[in-house]
Chains A and B, each alone.
Chain A
Amino acid sequence: MTTIVSGSGLLGARAIELSRRNPGSVLGAILFPLLFFALFNIVLRRIMDARDFDYVQLLPSTIVVQAMLFAGMSSAYYVASDRLSGVSDRLRSLPIGRAAPAIGRALGDLTRAAVSLFVVLAVGVAVGMRFDAGLVWVPVFVGVGLAFALAISLGMGLIGQVASSPEGAVSIASIPYLPLIMLSTGFAPVEDFPDWLEPFVRNQPVAVVIDALRALAGDGDIGSTVPAALLWSAGLSVVFIAIRVRVESPR
Chain B
Amino acid sequence: MVKRFGDHTALDGVSFEVDTGEVVGLLGPNGAGKTTAINVLSTLLRPDGGTAHVAGHDVVGDPDAVRRSISLTGQFAALDDVLTGYENLVLFGRLRELSRSEARQRATELLARFSLSDAGDQAVSTYSGGMRRRLDLAASLVVPTPVLFLDEPTTGLDPRSRSELWGVVRELRNDGLTVVLTTQYLEEADQLADRIVVIDRGSVVAEGTPDELKERAGGQACVVSPVDLGRLDEVASLLDDLGEVVIDHDLGTVTLPDTGPARLTSVLGRLGEHGIEVADVSLRRPTLDEVFLQLTGASS
- A and B held together in a complex: yes
Rounded to whole angstroms, the CA-CA distance of A60 and B80 in the bound complex is 35
Question: Closest CB-CB distance, A86 to chain B, in whole Å?
Answer: 4
Chain B interface residue count, CB cutoff 8 Å, equals 31
Residues of B within 8 A of A3 (CB): 97
Query: Given the complex of chains A and B, what is the CA–CA distance between A107 and B124 in angstroms?
Result: 24
Residues in B whose Cβ lies below 8 Å from that of A251: 45-46
Interface of chain A, helix or strand or loop or mixed?
Answer: helix
Q: Is A14 within 8 A of B80, CB to CB?
A: yes
Shortest B106–chain A CB gap in Å is: 15
Residues of B47-85 contacting chain A, CB below 8 A: 63-64, 67-68, 70-72, 74-83
A119 within 8 A of partner (CB): no
Q: Digitize B222-235: 1 where CB-to-A-CB distance is under 8 Å, 0 elsewhere.
A: 00000000000000
- For A21, A89, A91, which residue has the most chain B Cβ atoms within 10 angstroms? A89
Q: Let me know if B268 is at the binding interface, CB within 8 A.
A: no
A90–B46 CB distance below 8 A: no
Q: What is the distance, in angstroms, from B49's C-beta to the closest C-beta of chain A?
A: 14
Summarize B's interface: helix, strand, loop or mixed.
Answer: loop
A94 CB → nearest B CB, Å: 6
Are B74 and A250 in touch, CB under 8 angstroms?
no
Interface size on A, residues (CB 8 A): 23
A247 CA to B73 CA in the complex, in Å? 23
Let me know if B95 is at the binding interface, CB within 8 A. yes
On chain A, the residues within 8 Å of B72 by CB distance are 89-90, 93
- Complex CA gap A64/B96 in Å reads 38
Contact between B83 and A93, CB atoms less than 8 A apart: no
Instruction: Check: A18 CB closer than 8 A to any chain B CB.
Output: yes
Complex contacts, B238 vs chain A, CB 8 Å: none
Of A21, A95, A96, the residue contacting B82 (CB under 8 A) is A21
Q: Which residues of B contact A7 (CB under 8 A)?
A: 95
Count: A-B pairs, CB below 8 Å? 67
Contact of B44 among A14, A21, A87, A89 (CB under 8 A): A89
Select from chain B the residue with minimum beta-carbon distance to A22.
B82
Does B97 contact A86, Cβ atoms closer than 8 Å? no
Cross-interface CB contact of A95 among B68, B74, B81, cutoff 8 Å: B68
Q: Which residues of B contact A14 (CB under 8 A)?
A: 80, 83, 91
Chain A residues positioned under 8 Å from B42 (CB to CB): 93
A18 to B97, CA, bound (A): 21
CA distance A87 to B82 in the complex (A): 13
Whether B67 pairs with A93 at a CB distance below 8 angstroms is yes
Question: What residue of chain A has the Cβ atom nearest to residue B71's Cβ?
Answer: A93
Indicate if B285 sits at the interface (CB-CB under 8 A). no
Contacts of A96 in B (CB 8 A): 95
**Chain A residues, Cβ within 8 Å of B39:** 89
**Closest-CB distance, B58 to chain A (whole angstroms):** 13
Q: Which of A6, A91, A93 lies in contact with B97, CB distance below 8 A?
A: A6
What 1/0 mask marks residues of chain A from 67 to 103 whose CB sits below 8 Å from any chain B CB?
0000000000000000001110111111110000000
Residues of B within 8 A of A92 (CB): 43-44
Q: Which residues of A contact B46 (CB under 8 A)?
A: 250-251
22 contacts between A and B (CB under 8 A): A6-B94, A14-B80, A17-B83, A21-B82, A85-B81, A86-B74, A86-B75, A86-B76, A86-B77, A87-B78, A90-B72, A90-B78, A92-B44, A93-B70, A93-B71, A93-B72, A94-B96, A95-B64, A95-B68, A250-B43, A250-B44, A251-B45
A residues near B (Cβ < 8 Å) are 3, 6-7, 10-11, 14, 17-18, 21-22, 85-87, 89-96, 250-251
Residues of B within 8 A of A (CB): 39, 42-46, 63-64, 67-68, 70-72, 74-83, 87, 91-92, 94-97, 139
User: Lowest 5 A-B CB distances belong to which pairs?
Assistant: A86-B78, A86-B76, A93-B72, A250-B46, A90-B78
